[in-house]
Structure 1
Amino acid sequence: MAEPSHVETRLTALEVRMEEVAADAAAARHLAAARDRDLADLGVKVDANRSAINALGLQTAGRFDQLENRFDQLENRVDQLENEMRTGFDEMRTGFAEMRGRLDQTAGGQQQIVDLLTGLISGQGEQ
């Protein structure tokens, strides 16, 4: 059998070691609790970021819809202006053609006057 002093020394060492292990276990529990709080805080932050990103996505989609509507309006307005321009050019061409016809008629009338005057002048010179 072992000596009582040897057993007592071993028992004292074991008790000291048990206190160290208990302190280590308490520290580990404290660290685990802190880690759990950190993970919970991180989860809250991740959820907040996810919500912010989703809100930005919705806001951006809304703005793109507004831009698309504005571009559609602008495109319609440009189409309308183009149609008005083409109609105006067609009217202008028609007006120019009418003016050309009238100028041709006027030139024909003036030529008749010139011919008559030439005939009269020639006739007076012969008398």
Structure 2
Amino acid sequence: MNDDGINAIGNLTTLRHFRLTGSFTSFDILFEINCSAGSFSQLQVFEMERLNVHKWKLGNGAMPCLQKLLIKDSERLDSLPDEVWSLNSLRQVQVVRPSQALSLELANLEKKDGCDLVIAEW
């Protein structure tokens, strides 16, 4: 998945649920996710699973309707974009088997009112 692919998907105005899944065999390919400003305008649920993502960027005004974020088995992701925590509609962030750096970042995070943060090692 490259920036053009993410931008094309991000421009789908009726997209409400987006699951981006990789495989354990693709862990040798490291990449970034760049969500441009204003993209994913109606997205409510974003799931990222088994991806070799090392950096995620969230442009200004991207994912304004996001309610639930699930990140699972993305061991190279060391931090979440700061912009995630300013999304007013965000109600749940669930991270399953985070990297050590992401786990530390989330443990030291000042929680946003109305947003549940679940960190699971299972």
TM range (shorter): under 0.3
Structure showing greater relative contact order (alpha-carbon pairs closer than 8 Å, 6 or more residues apart): 2
TM-score, structure 2 as length reference: 0.14
Relative to its length, the structure with more helix (as a share) is 1
Higher gyration radius (CA): 1
